Amino acid sequence: MTESAADWHARVHARLASDGPREAPWTSWPTWPFEEDTLTPRPLEPLGDEQPRRGAGGIDCEQCSRSDDPSYIFWRDDLMMLGAPFEPTSLPFVAFPMPRRHGDLSDLTPDEAARMGQLTVAVERAACEVLDIPRLQVFRWGDGTEHLHWWLMARPTGTNQLRGTFLPLWDDLLPMREQSALRADLDAVAVRLVDLAGGETP
């Protein structure tokens, strides 16, 4: 049985009361826009050379190397696949739609682009039917890894404080779920997704 929003809130609230939030990782990132321990914006740095992305040209691409790994991929068809997070998350749903073939957004064929759009719609329908979530948030950064992957994230129903832009930051701060519990929920969504959009669960 999937975790209800009320159960999620009670579990997270109890962990926060006993352990506090996790330490924010992003304040040490070079792209964090504020000075340390303040909300004073950092000065804009000079232009620099573009940094290479991981898996460029399909070489040492983690998404490609794990495309048949059932511990990572929880749904797939001929064109697309859905990956689970590599690391634990605090939210009830986090997944990564991506093409099975190595490529970036501008590399998608018309068929792949159409299927990506259909899949995004179908994943939201499946996840909202199966889990206690109101909708999915869709993100794409793309500066770290060349293999196209979208971030689909969802907050529990009624957690209005987690709405919008800061959802990924809340995910870094709140207590993590057991990986097995997240995967069980992803698998339940995948079963419904097969009904809605075809494909298979590896």
| Residue 116 pLDDT exceeds 80 | yes
- Per the DSSP assignment, residues forming a β-bridge with 41 are 34
Outline where DSSP puts E strands in 86-187. 93-99, 137-139, 151-154
Give the pLDDT band (50/70/90) at residue 86.
confident
Alpha helical stretches, state H, 150-201 = 167-173, 179-197
Q: What is the mean pLDDT of residues 135-146?
A: 93
DSSP 99: E
Q: Tell me the pLDDT tens digit for each residue of 39-75.
A: 888 888 888 898 889 999 889 999 999 999 999 999 9
Say what the pLDDT of residue 73 is.
97
Share of the chain above pLDDT 70, in %: 100
Higher pLDDT, 37 or 92: 92
H/E stretch holding 80 reads strand 80-83
The helices-and-strands tally (H runs, E runs) of the chain is: 5, 5
Of the ranges 17-21, 154-158, 187-191, which one carries the lowest mean pLDDT score? 17-21
CATH dotted code for 62-202: 3.30.428.10
Measured at the CA of 156, the angle between CA 194 and CA 199, to 5 degrees, comes to 10
Give the pLDDT band (50/70/90) at residue 175.
very high
Closest by CA to 149, choosing from 89, 50, 72, is 72
- Per the DSSP assignment, residues forming a β-bridge with 193 are none
- Is residue 184 within 8 Å of residue 154, measured between CB atoms? no
Q: Against a cut of 0.95, is the pTM above it?
A: no
- Per the DSSP assignment, residues forming a β-bridge with 153 are 94, 137
| Residue 136 pLDDT exceeds 90 | yes
- 133's CB contacts (< 8 A; 6+ apart) are 5, 92, 93, 127, 154, 155, 156, 157
Q: How far is CA 115 from CA 41, 59, 79, 141, in A?
A: 40, 25, 7, 20
Q: Output the average pLDDT for the chain.
A: 93
Q: How far is CA 172 from CA 28, 46, 193, in A?
A: 13, 29, 27
- 106's CB contacts (< 8 A; 6+ apart) are none
Give the C-alpha separation, 185 to 130, whole Å.
Answer: 8
